Structure 1
Amino acid sequence: MATKHIYATGFDESERLPIDLPCPECSGSLERDQRQTYCTECGLVIREYEIDHGPDWFDYQNQESNKHVGSPLTPARHDKGLSSEIGEQRDGMGNRLSGRTRRRFSRLRRHHSQARQPTRRSRNTVRGLIDVRRVTSALGLPTSVRDRAASLFRESQSRGLLPGRSVHSFTAGSVYAACRCFDLPRTLQEVESVARCDRSALRNAYRVMNVELGLEVTAPSPSAFLPRLASEFDISDTTRREAFVLARRLEDAGDVIGRHPAGVAAACLYEAGQQTGERILQKELATEAGVSPPTIRNRREEVREHC
């Protein structure tokens, strides 16, 4: 077994400029610049022992410390991401555990799980945040929306809004509220399709959160729903541009107030298809937009008034 230290013939990383050891190529002098050690005579860059032993640095969500010592904190997990897990089959060296040791660690995992969730409130937090991650993943929403929905669910629980109501209704309501805060075109029907509650419970949870938490949400515009609807039916760019112009005219005229934004977007897309010669069925368009065919026909009459 070798007993000689690896740095005996290498370069001391703790030393700064200059380095006393000669260049292995031309026996010239070595210097360190930034994270490179190079020869001043021949220009040879020594990379063999260039190891950064310090922590990684980054700026994450305006935290006081920017040291990177693990995964970033996230409100989407009940412990903010600072979790610990107990292994099952092997130890830290990769050796297989004996049966007695596995039974012992099984008991430790059970006690550890119970200690992390000692109260009903903490268990509801875990259930709610798991459901928030599930709903956002099913809808294909970005991480920023997921974290915002998790923060809204935590705030709703801290304000005492959950007692007497379903946890799943507030998780779905948090996701819908986060979409409204980020101006993402998601309807109640889309959130309800992946939620574990009906639309009335979802609507009630969102209404309570909007009133009690004072959410800064704006009315969704019909033009925000156009790209998603057009992509579902493979509409040409010409029809998309025409539908966008029609939607902008309605928004500027103020005729979208009190109207379902997805229904107005569907009507604009249908009328644009009629003008450009692209065939779009009202029934399929209404199903995708979450409205009824009569709604599209009524909104289409309003669109024609501004053509």
Structure 2
Amino acid sequence: MTDTTIREHSNTREHARRQKRKQTSQDDEEQLACPECDGQLVSDEERGETVCVDCGLVVDADEIDRGPEWRAFDSKEKDQKSRVGAPTTKMMHDDGLSTNIGWQNKDAYGRSLSSRQREKMQRLRTWNERFRTRDAKERNLKQALGEIDRMASALGLPKSVRETASVIYRRALDEDLLPGRSIEGVATASLYAAARQAGTPRSLDEINAVSRVDRAEVARTYRYIVRELNLEIQPADPEQYVPRFASDLDISEEAERRARDLLKTAKEQGIHSGKSPVGLAAAAVYAASLLVNEKVTQNTVSEVANISEVTIRNRYHELLEADGHAPD
């Protein structure tokens, strides 16, 4: 191919590019002009519309708002609210900032990986896991937070309680309260404290049923971290247990309300002092169900509340006498 031919081809391609840019520019000008009056078009982001400033014609509607869903009034607030990716969480040892390699051995199109690729991905997962827990503190956190999540799931506690328990455990770890105590014991005590703080308490027996440490160690560790961390935890209110017991027993709202009234009367007369709040709540639910003629046995209430029938009978008589009813 001669130099003249090459220059002709080059000129032809350059001419084609100029024509394409010119056409694009003309198309953009047509888009910016009103099709009715050739007036200027503006975008109304608040209403998601493109309108003509001269005749008011709405050229485009229901536009996608690509901005954030929040408002900021200064640069500092904007920096605090802007975010990318999933929110951070205290329930993970790295606050959820690291990445995970999925366990599915498939590519982006859903096709299965070859054996060589599966081996490579397994090695990457192993090294990724090692890098995520580089020191003893991170390994400690990973084990403890996993234990908190497991127990909270078994007890049906909400995410907010798990977050609070994770923060309590992190504080105990930062203040060097773990030496001489097991990771599982401190994790269980942190969850027990968080549940009481959130107003969704669980009894020590319920906690002990899902924990890997014994009841005495949980109680001892709980008292220790509450004292050392200066946690403000009010004594458990028997009324806080009533909704859960009522839901598990499937009793009516009237019976639940009656149980609350029995407990309020007991507190006014000081009967609740020195007695287990779980036992009082279970006895109140049982007594209330009888007062509204709903058939609930002591054995059923005992299984739901995880306390003995003897305790229910004793508290049941005391509650009815305080309320002015003669027990059967």
TM-score interval for Structure 1 and Structure 2 normalised by the shorter chain: 0.7 to 0.9
Aligned residues: 296
Shift of 1:28: 4.2
Instruction: Extract unaligned runs of 5+ from structure 2.
Output: 1-16, 324-328
Which residue of structure 2 aligns with residue 69 of structure 1?
84
Secondary structure of 2:80's counterpart equals coil
Distance 2:165 2:71 in 1: 24
SS where residue 31 of structure 1 aligns?
strand
Aligned mates of 2:96, 2:83 — CA distance in 1: 13
Task: Note the C-alpha offset of 1:257.
Answer: 1.9
Match of 1:120 among 128, 136, 149: 136
Deviation for aligned residue 1:9: 7.3
Mark the structure with the bigger radius of gyration. 2
Residues 282-301 of structure 1 aligned to structure 2 (within 5 Å): 282-301=298-317
How far residue 163 of structure 1 moved from its aligned partner, in angstroms, is 2.4
Select the residue among 31, 43, 58 that pairs with 2:42: 31
The RMSD of aligned alpha carbons is: 3.4
Q: 1:51 to 1:223 in 2, by over 3 A?
A: closer
TM alignment of 1:232-251, pairs within 5 A? 232-251=248-267
- Contact conserved, 1:185 with 1:224, CA < 8 A, in 2? yes
* Counterpart contact for 1:56–1:67, Cα < 8 Å: no
CA shift, 1:247, in A, is 0.8
In 2, the alpha carbon distance for the partners of 1:224 and 1:306 equals: 20
Instruction: Please give the residue correspondences for 1:48-127 in structure 2 after superposition, counting only pairs within 5 Å.
Output: 50=64, 52=66, 57=70, 65-86=80-101, 103=119, 106-127=122-143
Amino acid aligned to 2:40: S
1:195 counterpart residue number: 211
Measure, in 2, the Cα distance between the counterparts of 1:149 and 1:210.
Answer: 12
8 Å Cα contact 1:30/1:37 also seen in 2: no
Q: Could you tell which deviates more after superposition, 122-131 or 182-191?
A: 182-191
From the two aligned structures, give the one with the greater helix fraction: 2
Aligned partner letter, 1:143? K
The residue that corresponds to 2:326 in the other structure is none
Structure 1 counterpart of 2:33, from 13, 16, 22: 22
Which residue in the other structure is 2:200 paired with?
184
Q: How big is each residue's C-alpha offset from its partner over 1:23-69, in whole Å with a ceiling of 9 and x where there is no partner?
A: 356644311222534223354252587462x556479xx99611021
Helix, strand or coil for the counterpart of 2:95?
Answer: coil
How far 1:85 moved relative to its partner?
A: 3.1
Task: Report deviation, 1:78.
Answer: 0.7
Aligned partners of 1:221 and 1:261 also within 8 Å: yes
Identity %, equivalent residues: 35
Give me the TM-score of the superposition, normalised by structure 1.
0.82
